[in-house]
Every structure is written in C-alpha cells, then in structure tokens.
Amino acid sequence: MDSFSGKLAVVTGGGSGMGRELVRQLAVAGCSVAACDISAGTIAEAAVSAQAEAGSGVLVTGHACDVSAEAQLLRFRDELLEAHARDHVNLVFANAGVGGGGSFVAGDRAEWERTFAINWQGVYYTARVFVPLLIAAGDGILVNTSSVNGFWASLGPGVPHTAYCTAKFAIKGFTEALIEDLRVNAPQVRVALVMPGHIGTDIVANTRRVHGQPEPADLDHAELDKARAALGGTGLLGGSGLLAEGASDDELRQLLTQLASDFKDKAPLTAAQAAAIILDGVRSGTWRILVGQDAARLDRLVRARPELAYDYAQFFNEAAVAEQQSGAQEPAT
C-alpha cells in the first residue's frame, strides 16, 4: 500500500498515545479514519483534533467502545460504516491496550482478567469483526499491536507482569498464524505485527483509570502498603528497589506520580515517532515491525540466548559483551 490517500482506516485505542498519533498521521496523509476508545471524551477530542489537520475529503470520526466486548465492536462497526458511507475498510489497527494484572499468584484476579481481556480479546474480537470488511476491500491490511513483552515476558527483577505479557504473546502467535491462514483463505488481506519497546504514552495513567484505581494522592493505607511492597526492597522477592527504605507515605505518592510522568516524558521514542515507524512499516509491506532501538536490541538478544532470557545478570552482561564485539550500538544502561 504505497499511499493511504482515499482509504478508510479503523484504529482502536485511538484516544491517546500511539493510537491518537496513528489517527492524526493517517488523516494528514489523506486517509479517512474511524477511531474508538474506551473514553468517550478522549476519543471525541482526538477526532476533532485530527479532523482539523486533515485535508479536504477526509473524514475522522470518534466512537466510544470497550474492545473487550464484541457487542460494542459490532456497534462501532455499524456506526462507522454509516458515518463514512462505506461497505468496507482498508486498514485496521488493533492498537488498544492497558497495563495491570502484574502477578498471577498474588494479584487481584478481576484486574488480571480485565487486563488480559482488553489486550488479547480486544485484538481477537477486532479481527473477527473487521476481517470480513478487509476482505471486501480487496486490498486490506490488519495491523495488530503486540509488544516487546510478546517475546520477552518480563519487566526485569522484582516486577511480575503476567497478564500483559500473556496477552502480548497471544497476539504475536495469533498474528503469525494468520499469515498462512490469510494466504490460503483471504489472499486479498495481509497482516502485520507491531512490537513496540518503551514509547512515551499515558498508559500508566490510563491503566489506573480503566481499573478504577485512585490517583496517587488519593490512595488509602492498604493501597499504599501494596505499592510500597512493589516499589521497595530489592530482588525477585523484595520488590523493585525504586522506593528508599523508610520513605514516608507522601514520598511514596510523589514517586508514583513521578513514575507515571517519567514513563511518558523520558521514553526513548515519542508516540508520534512510533506511529510514523508503524505507518512506514505498513507501507513497505513488512509483516514484522519492531518499534524502537530497545525493541530491536531485546529481540536480538532473546533470539541469540533464549535460555538466559530470565537470568538477568547473565543475559544482559553477556549481551553487552556480544554487542561490543559485533560493533553494535553501546548497550543501554
């Protein structure tokens, strides 16, 4: 697909982060867009903003939708087909995602299953609902967003990340399995897999809202104790070591606020840069789109030494030696 001009794209999770940037950049490129998000206010504002930058003949619509519910995606489909007066779509970006559900063993089951449902079932249901419309287009492209956590199921020592990683592995496997399925049964449609590293988005704050969790300033004592256990100590059984021993409740609240801010503001890539890489990959026809040098590096290391992927000291130490010997970029801290 050399050009997006005149096409119609669907973007889930289009209210913020990479999704919002995909909506904006597609619209600027002459592509009409139907975007959805779990937050009605956020997606409405994103659609208005993208429409303002779009050229003539481009329509951007925003729709409230929880992608973990197939019925809501079916309603979204019907709304967008009516709004855009089309009987098909050309591109579908299954981008919606959320964090949470870190521990399978010690975490809240409802949060774990909610996280898994949004991340995995959201992609699955999006494919179920929209692949027939991509087939009808004759040149459709399905773009599924996984993560580096779709091939490396960790955030490092002391930080279990099971629901998110499990979902992202499922997305990777599903997308790769679709390559041959589509080749045999729907050759007019192709699929692409997006695996971003650390991108500057609002996913930390958005995750808190989706799970109905209070802002750091409003955490009660029980919630503070849970956060303290996760952020204090060192090692696999003692937390992440980010919180100093003896830190006050106010210092803990400040750290939580700062972590959310730093995740967005200190990321190696902005959401705009990530969206541009994704769209370039879609144009080029590749099925595998790594986003960020951190994603490329982790992918290379896991492939080279999969048996050491979770033995962090050896994994990263040997990786540094290998990178230096190969003349690659200096290893990240």
Strand order in the sheet with 288-291: 60-64, 32-37, 8-12, 91-94, 140-145, 189-196, 288-291
Q: What pLDDT, on the 0 to 100 scale, is given for residue 223?
A: 80
- 191 and 116 together in one domain: yes
Is 328 domain-assigned? no
Residue type present at position 3: S
Contact 286, 192 (CB under 8 A): yes
295-317 pLDDT, tens digit each: 999 999 999 999 999 999 889 88
- 112 and 257 together in one domain: no
**DSSP 3-state assignment of 166?**
helix
Q: Assign residue 90 the CATH number of its domain.
A: 3.40.50.720
DSSP 119: I
By residue range, what is the domain housing residue 255? 215-261
Per the document, the length of the chain is 333
Contact 39, 290 (CB under 8 A): no
Is 325 domain-assigned? no
**What is the number of structural domains in the chain?**
2
Is 45 domain-assigned? yes
Is 131 domain-assigned? yes
Torsion sign (Cα): 92, 196, 123, 180: positive
79-136 pLDDT, tens digit each: 999 999 999 999 999 999 999 999 999 999 999 999 999 999 999 999 999 999 999 9
Backbone angles phi, psi at 192, to 5 degrees: -130, 145
Higher-confidence residue of 80 and 327: namely 80
Is 209 domain-assigned? no
Residues ≥6 apart with Cβ < 8 Å to 56: none
Contact 115, 130 (CB under 8 A): no
Spatial separation of the C-alpha atoms in residues 181 and 143, rounded to whole Å: 15
- 252 and 277 together in one domain: no
- 74 and 185 together in one domain: yes
Is 318 domain-assigned? no
Spatial separation of the C-alpha atoms in residues 146 and 105, rounded to whole Å: 23
- 167 and 39 together in one domain: yes
pLDDT at residue 329 is higher than 80: no
- 72 and 194 together in one domain: yes
Spatial separation of the C-alpha atoms in residues 152 and 42, rounded to whole Å: 31
pTM of the shown model: 0.89
- 255 and 275 together in one domain: no
- 219 and 109 together in one domain: no
Higher-confidence residue of 325 and 173: namely 173
Contact 241, 228 (CB under 8 A): no
- 12 and 161 together in one domain: yes
Is 180 domain-assigned? yes
User: Over pLDDT 90: what percentage of the chain?
Assistant: 73
Q: What pLDDT, on the 0 to 100 scale, is given for residue 11?
A: 98
Q: What pLDDT, on the 0 to 100 scale, is given for residue 245?
A: 79
Taking Cα atoms as reference points, which of 25, 328, 301, 287 lies closest to residue 148? 301
Query: Hey, what are 179's tokens?
Result: 């390559």
* Mean pLDDT in residue range 278-291: 98
Residues ≥6 apart with Cβ < 8 Å to 267: 198, 199, 200, 201
226-245 pLDDT, tens digit each: 778 777 754 433 455 678 77
- 140 and 165 together in one domain: yes
Query: Hey, what are 137's tokens?
Result: 């287009």
Backbone angles phi, psi at 196, to 5 degrees: -80, 150
- 50 and 70 together in one domain: yes
pLDDT at residue 333 is higher than 60: no
User: Over pLDDT 70: what percentage of the chain?
Assistant: 92
188-206 pLDDT, tens digit each: 999 999 999 999 998 988 9
Please, what is the average pLDDT of the chain?
91
Is 296 domain-assigned? no
- 138 and 32 together in one domain: yes
Query: Hey, what are 232's tokens?
Result: 């204090």
26-67 pLDDT, tens digit each: 999 999 999 999 999 999 999 999 999 998 999 999 999 999
